[in-house]
Amino acid sequence: MNTNQIEGLIGMLLVLGILVLLVLPSLPGIVRDRRADRQIREARAKRESQDGQKSSSRSTVPSTATWYADGRRSKKLVSS
């Protein structure tokens, strides 16, 4: 190997090391999120089996339009 190849190898290893250092802190968070998701799925399945019925797949969270309309309705018009 000549000097240029060694410098290229060192540079590549340095970039790879920096990438590992940037990605490494996110791995515990990913593992924790996956574990929480699994626990939520298991609890939901257990609850559904106890209830004997499945919950609706439709979201109960109001849409953006509903939030906007509620905000508009709650404001009182003041004439000056």
19-44 pLDDT, tens digit each: 999 999 999 999 999 999 999 999 99
| pLDDT computed for residue 63 by the predictor | 64
40-79 pLDDT, tens digit each: 999 999 998 887 655 556 666 666 666 566 666 555 555 6
Alpha-carbon torsion (30, 35, 39, 44), positive or negative = positive
Pair 40, 46: CB distance under 8 Å = no
The pTM of this model reads 0.45
| pLDDT computed for residue 52 by the predictor | 67
Q: Is the pLDDT of residue 1 over 70?
A: yes
